[in-house]
Amino acid sequence: MNVLGCQNVTFLHVHVIANGNSPNTDGIHIGRSFMINITDVNIQTGDDCISLGDGSKKITITKVTCGPGHGISVGSLGKYMNEQPVEGVFVRNCTLINTMNGLRIKTWPNSFVGLASNIHFEDIIMENVGNPIYIDQEYCPWNQCNKAVPSKVQIKDVSFKDIRGTSATANAINFICSSGFPCQNVEVVNIDLRYNGKQGHITSQCKNIKPRILGIHNPTACLAS
């Protein structure tokens, strides 16, 4: 379902279902749209349950159940010239089940200039989710990118609050930010995740970011930074 160039649209009590192995089947993709509300929606798919492309502004996502799929994503951003900023995204009271990723912001390396700001994730339940919390500024799904050149998309004013449940990967928090445009003003509050697997303890990995950490922190984000 594509939402492009729209204003003041609400999706309520919608079910979107595709085969879990089907590629390029985003449940709801939003781009260049303003004041979109998604609430009480169930999405099962083979790609992002919800993806927010460039120009997505004032987007509210609540009471969404996602899975299987690739999670809830901002991006990917920076691949094309003249992309519009993503601003004002609020994701609250959602549940992700058996998804490949959880809450993700993704930008291409060696990108065009862009901006993703004022993005907030709160009160999220994870059930066996890979990469539950993920900022990926080296996004390159086909490994055909020049990762030596950093992303030029600025990510700032982001929060992850009250996120709990189980991770399918040992690295539950991945903050891979751009060396050219490090992530700014990222807040991590009350994170309580447990690792389901057997590859050691739950951990985080971080590059080019110094988040503000408050409350419960399991795992601690960027302990060494």
DSSP code per residue over 187-202: EEEEEEEEE-SSSSS-
Which residue of the set 29, 70, 120, 217 is catalytic?
Answer: 70
CB neighbours of 224 closer than 8 A, spacing ≥ 6?
Answer: 206
Residue 190 amino acid letter: N
Angstrom distance (rounded) from CA 33 to CA 61? 14
Distance, in Å, from the CA atom of 41 to the CA atom of 60, rounded to the nearest integer, reads 12
* Beta strand residue intervals within 168-222, DSSP E: 171-176, 184-195, 203-207, 212-218
CA quadruple 15, 18, 20, 22: dihedral sign: negative
Q: What is the DSSP string of 52-83?
A: E-TT-EEEEEEEEEE-SSS-EEEEEESSSTTP
Question: Any catalytic annotation for residue 201?
Answer: no
Least Cα distance to 139 among 170, 101, 167 occurs for 101
Report the catalytic residues: 70
